[in-house]
Amino acid sequence: MALPSDSAAASPSAEASARAAALATNAVEVLPEGNLVTQLEQNRPLRVKLGIDPTAPDIHLGHTVVLTKLRQFQEDGHDVVLIIGDYTARVGDPSGRSDQRPMLAPEEIDANARTFQEQAFKVLDRDRTEVRFNSEWLRMEPEELLGLMAKATVARLLERDDFQKRMQAGEPVSALELLYPLLQGYDSVAVRADVELGGTDQKFNLLFGRDIQTAYNCPRQTVMTMPILPGIDGVRRMSKSLGNYIGVTDAPEDMFGKLMRVPDGSIDEYWRLLLGGDAPEGPPNLTKRRLASSLVDRFHGEGAGQVAEAAFNRVFVDHEAPAEIEEFEFDSGPEEPGEIHLPAVLAQAFGVSRSEARRLLSQGGVRRDGEVLPAEPLDLPPAELDGRVLQLGKRRFKRLRQST
């Protein structure tokens, strides 16, 4: 059910209504209903907030959905505040979790924060973005923290679905996790947010921020939720921990290849959320190629998509090795003097286990210079691998060199 507007009813101007409608493109919800129009009628730049906890070092395409919306607000003349949650990352956001997030070391959070904000500027206008770290205001004295905690009830915090599901399943909910929505809400107080953006999984936190603003006698923000991009498996949300992500700093050929693995049924959603508008009509494979080429161009520069597509064709259409192949030095193994143990080399070169390497060999999943390697023998003279190209599966190549 839509929330009532915070402001007195008035006839919205056609211009403000049109701007609000444009800014709401692709959004799932904009709450309270009509509040964004009222804010735009004030004819001033709005302070638009996005908070991101640096729990991983890289931004993936799923993050760019909301970052692109932020960029749209910038282009409409508003002030964007990107909050790096270096303090809230120490608590752990429970949104969408069936268990408590592991706590990260401060050094890891700080390192992630540095790379995260740099990658965000692949989407945002650096000169028009205010970057803040919420440790600036969340490192509170005990009296301040207790005052913040007094602004909410446990019953209100336990309304969120994530906590309800975990309690019904007998899973624990830590007191630290209960604190998270208060801290995120206080971010909105600290930066005087007019609008806060987030994924649909953030709806409780974003609306709770309005409660915290009220408690501190601040104007309440408009809440805008954005869709969550599915990963390249087409099922689960894009996540590095799930291995179904595409990083904005992935090499062009890797980005192109991963996008070609997106299920046909997800092409329209990817096109709409990442490029805007409707996907062009045509065969799914051709549309997917245009999607992949356009996104590689977006993150690596004009023309990079065409080069990446050529590299993709070389490997997957022409079944040739890439033009540039990373080299890997190997030593003779201890199993047999003068011979190397192939599963050990595969494990070291490609980061798989020896048992996985043996399984791939038995299934014909390893090639040497384009020819399938037999499952036996597993020990080979170094000369039979030195300078040769090993291919693991369809996309992974290494040129072997014997160490001197």
Residue 363 belongs to a domain: yes
Residue 236 belongs to a domain: no
Q: Are 300 and 383 part of one and the same domain?
A: no
Residue 231 belongs to a domain: no
Q: Are 21 and 163 part of one and the same domain?
A: yes
Say how far apart CA 398 and CA 381 lie, in whole Å.
Answer: 18
**Measuring CA to CA, which residue among 68, 53, 39, 21 is closest to residue 222?**
39
Say how far apart CA 78 and CA 71 lie, in whole Å.
Answer: 9
Domain boundary among 316, 338, 365: 316
Residue 271 has pLDDT above 90, yes or no: yes
Report CA 170 to chain centroid distance, whole Å: 30
Domain span at residue 300?
252-316
Q: Are 274 and 353 part of one and the same domain?
A: no
235-259 average pLDDT score: 89
CB 82 within 8 Å of CB 50: yes
Confidence (pLDDT) at 326? 74
Say how far apart CA 12 and CA 265 lie, in whole Å.
Answer: 39
Residue 126 belongs to a domain: yes
Residue 90 belongs to a domain: yes
Residue 75 DSSP SS3: helix
Say how far apart CA 388 and CA 175 lie, in whole Å.
Answer: 57
What is the C-alpha end-to-end distance of the chain, expressed in Å?
71
- Rg, the chain, Cα only: 26
Say how far apart CA 61 and CA 3 lie, in whole Å.
Answer: 31
Task: Dig out the tokens for 193 from the structure.
Answer: 């947010």
Residue 137: half-sphere exposure toward Cβ, Cα within 13 Å: 17
Query: Strands across the sheet with 47-52, in order?
Result: 29-31, 222-226, 195-199, 47-52, 79-84, 129-133
Q: What is the pTM of this model?
A: 0.76
Q: Note the pLDDT tens digit of each residue in 305-344.
A: 999 998 888 876 756 666 667 777 777 555 445 678 888 8
Confidence tier at 8 by pLDDT (50, 70, 90) = very low
Domain count, the chain: 3
CB 267 within 8 Å of CB 284: yes
Residue 45 has pLDDT above 80, yes or no: yes
169-173 average pLDDT score: 85
